[in-house]
Amino acid sequence: MSETRICKACLHSLSLDRFRITKNGYYYRICRDCQYRNTYNPELGRIKRRSFNGRLSKMFSQIKSRLKYGNLSYRRLKCTFTWEQFKAFAMANGYPELHKKWESAGFAHNLTPSVDRIDNAGNYELSNIRLLTLEENLQRPRRYTRPRKLYEAVFYIILVPVQSELENRSEDTSAL
């Protein structure tokens, strides 16, 4: 009897000859049929991304990729939760209702469920994120104050008070 493996896309138990082999000798996690369908039929990928678990997975992967490939302000942040913890958090905090509203609106872009950090200077922690629609997230005011560089801090601590003192002195001498 040949060995079998479960395809991560279709979840069928298939023999190993249905999977491609990498250069290193490992088997792909997705069977050849699913690779073909996802590559040559983009509509299937769109359907998966709009599914209940597909959108949830996309939100989690966006967090991870933002931390890895985003600009420097994101790269210093950390994500303190796993996929299972995020999924449990989403189920407890209204994701099913958000997804149902998005689906009933015909997958309108502005109603897409998204993740928002409550404190923009904080890490991605379950206590610091919330789920809301893309429209609500974009309307939310950003109150992030970027950390100042050392020379900026020196300028504001030392030079600004000195400048105002010089201006006061020049006003006093002009009044004479």
pLDDT of residue 121: 81
Let me know if residue 171 belongs to a domain. Answer: no
Q: Which domain holds residue 34?
A: 1-40
Least confidently predicted of 10-14, 56-60, 150-154 = 150-154
Same domain, 92 and 158: yes
Same domain, 83 and 143: yes
pTM metric for this prediction: 0.59
Max alpha carbon distance in the chain (Å)?
A: 105
pLDDT of residue 48: 74
Same domain, 143 and 117: yes
In eight-state DSSP terms, residue 20 is -
Same domain, 60 and 147: yes
Mean pLDDT of 121-137: 92
Q: What is the pLDDT of residues 108-118, one digit of tens each?
A: 999 999 999 98
Same domain, 84 and 22: no
Q: Rounded mean pLDDT of the chain?
A: 81
Q: What residues contact 7, with CB distance under 8 A and at least 6 apart?
A: 14, 18, 19, 29, 30, 31, 34
Same domain, 60 and 36: no
Domains contained in the chain, number: 2
Q: What angle do CA 26, 31, 91 make, to 5 degrees?
A: 100
Same domain, 70 and 116: yes
Q: What is the pLDDT of residues 73-105, one digit of tens each?
A: 788 889 999 999 999 999 999 999 999 999 999
In eight-state DSSP terms, residue 16 is G
Q: What angle do CA 119, 142, 131 make, to 5 degrees?
A: 55
Q: What angle do CA 98, 104, 109 make, to 5 degrees?
A: 70
CATH at 1: 3.30.60.130
